[in-house]
Each structure stands twice: as structure tokens, then as C-alpha cells.
């Protein structure tokens, strides 16, 4: 397995929140508020974990320059990680 995939799996398995967020995004494009509602997590926690997962290339922010209404999508790496963590 490649190093990036192993890091991603480790990151997601070490936190139930990350796993819930990744599953919530799935094949959709979602806003943090939608993820928070779907997962019953606080919005500030969702935002913190989204930022972390963007840094690890598990998800991508499609409009990162916007202050409001940011949209997130899972990357191919994120899909592989999610598949191996289920």
C-alpha cells in the first residue's frame, strides 16, 4: 500500500468524527452545515476536521476562496480510504 493511503486510513480510523464526516460526504458535494446536520456533530468540529482532511488530500474544497457556502467533495484517495475503513 502506498504511504499516503496508509496515512489516510490511520487518520480516519483514529477518529469516529473523521469517519462520520467522510461517510456523510460520500459521493455528494456538501456544505459544512449539511455535514453537521447529517452527523449530529457541532459545526465547529466539522470545520476543524474538514480542514485537517483537506490537508491530507482526503477531501477537496471546491471554492476555498469563499468565506461562506464552502463546498466539499471526496477525493480518489478519500474514496479508497473510506472503502478500506468500512
Tens-digit pLDDT profile for residues 20-51? 999 999 989 999 999 999 999 999 999 999 99
Cα atoms in the 13 Å half-sphere on the side-chain side of 85: 26
List, in order of start, the domains of the chain with CATH numbers. 3-85 (1.10.10.10)
End-to-end Cα spacing for the chain? 17
pLDDT of 67 above 90 = no
pLDDT of 1 above 90 = no
Amino acid at each position: 500500500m502506498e504511504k499516503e493511503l496508509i496515512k489516510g486510513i490511520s487518520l480516519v480510523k483514529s477518529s469516529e468524527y473523521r469517519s462520520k464526516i467522510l461517510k456523510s460526504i460520500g459521493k455528494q458535494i456538501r456544505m459544512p452545515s449539511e455535514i453537521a446536520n447529517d452527523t449530529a456533530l457541532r459545526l465547529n468540529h466539522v470545520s476543524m476536521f474538514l480542514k485537517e482532511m483537506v490537508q491530507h488530500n482526503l477531501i477537496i474544497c471546491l471554492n476555498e476562496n469563499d468565506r461562506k457556502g464552502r463546498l466539499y467533495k471526496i477525493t480518489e484517495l478519500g474514496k479508497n480510504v473510506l472503502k478500506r475503513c468500512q
